[in-house]
Amino acid sequence: MNIVESIASAVSRIDAKGWSEGTGGNLSVIVDSWDMRTKEGAEFPLSWDASALEGRMVAITRSGCRLCDVAIAPERELALLRIEKGKARLLWGLEGGGRPSSELAAHLMSHASRLASDPEHRALAHMHATHLIAAGMLCPEEEGPFTRLLWSMCTEALMFLPEGVGILPWLPCGTDEIGRATAQKLAKFRLVLWQNHGVFASGASLEDALGRAEIADKAAELFLLTRGGETRTITRPQLRELASALGLSPREEWL
C-alpha cells in the first residue's frame, strides 16, 4: 500500500465514524519515499521555524477538503510538500488550486515535536472524535484525572496510552498559537484532546494513530454510557497489575 492508498484508507475509517463532518478533520504523513512523478509548484510561506523538518516531504490534506472525497480525487484533495527554509513547496497534488490544510502549522510543528521524542514517528490525524469531545466537556480540564478515567474503563486504554492523554484548553483553530500549544503537548503525549473541538493523534503510521484514537474514544464512550449508574471499573491495583504484566510504565502519580 503506497502513501496515497494509506491516506485514502484512513480517511474512509474516519468518515465512517462521523469524525469528519463537513470539512472537519485533516491528516498528514511524513513521506520517506514517493513513487509518483513530482514537479515543483507553488510555495507556501511558513511563519515559524521549520528547520527540524527541512528536506523532508509531508503529505497533507487540502484546506476545505471533505475527507470523504480523498479516495475519489486524491490528486485534488492532497498535497505533497517539501519543507524548505521559510516555506513549503508543492511537489504533487492540489490540482485545480487550493492550499494545504488550515492546520498546517499544527501538523508541521507537531511532526517536529514528535520526531524529537520518537524517531519512528510519521503520522498525525486530527479528528472530531465524538465521545472524547463529550467526555472532555463533562470532566475537569486536568490530564491526570481524565487519563485515570479512561484507563479505568477498558484494558486497552492503559495498554495503548500508558503516558496518558494531553488536554489543550479551547483555542481558535487554524492558528500558529494552537499549533505551538499542540506541539508542546505532543512532546509528552501521543494523543491530545482539543477541548470542545477534537483530537490530535500521532503514531508511526496512520493505522497506529487512528487505532490509538479509536481506543481512547471507546473508553470515553463507555464512560458516557455508564455515567450516573453504579459501575465496576478497573481499580488502581488492577491497573498496576496490568502495567506490570505488560511491562508498561504509566505515570505512577495518575494510577
Secondary structure of residue 91 in the 3-state scheme: strand
Q: What local confidence, expressed as pLDDT, does residue 228 receive? A: 66
Q: Which residue has the higher pLDDT, 119 or 227?
A: 119
- List CB contacts of 89: < 8 A, sequence separation 6 or more: 40, 41, 42, 43, 44, 81, 82
Candidate CATH numbers 3.40.225.10, 3.40.50.970, 2.40.50.140, 1.10.600.10; the one for domain 3-254: 3.40.225.10
* Mean pLDDT of the chain, nearest integer: 93
pTM (predicted TM-score): 0.91
141-174 confidence digits (pLDDT tens): 899 999 999 999 999 999 999 999 999 999 888 8
Alpha helices in 25-69 (DSSP H): none
- Active-site positions? 103
Secondary structure of residue 70 in the 3-state scheme: coil
The three grid cell numbers given for residue 3, joined into one nine-digit string: 502513501
Buried b (16+ CB within 10 A) or exposed e, 178-207: bbbbbbebbeebbbbbbeebbbbbbbeebe
pLDDT interval class at 9 (50, 70, 90) = very high
214-236 confidence digits (pLDDT tens): 999 999 999 999 986 677 888 88
CB 16 within 8 A of CB 72: no
The three grid cell numbers given for residue 162, joined into one nine-digit string: 500508558
Sorted by where each begins, the domain ranges of the chain are 3-254
Secondary structure of residue 229 in the 3-state scheme: coil
CA nearest to 32, candidates 12, 58, 5: 58
d(CA 212, CA 156): 9
Q: What local confidence, expressed as pLDDT, does residue 85 receive? A: 94
**Residue 224 phi, psi dihedral angles, 5° rounding:** -65, -35
Among 30-44, 127-141, 230-244, which stretch is predicted with the lowest mean pLDDT?
230-244
The three grid cell numbers given for residue 152, joined into one nine-digit string: 479505568
d(CA 70, CA 76): 8
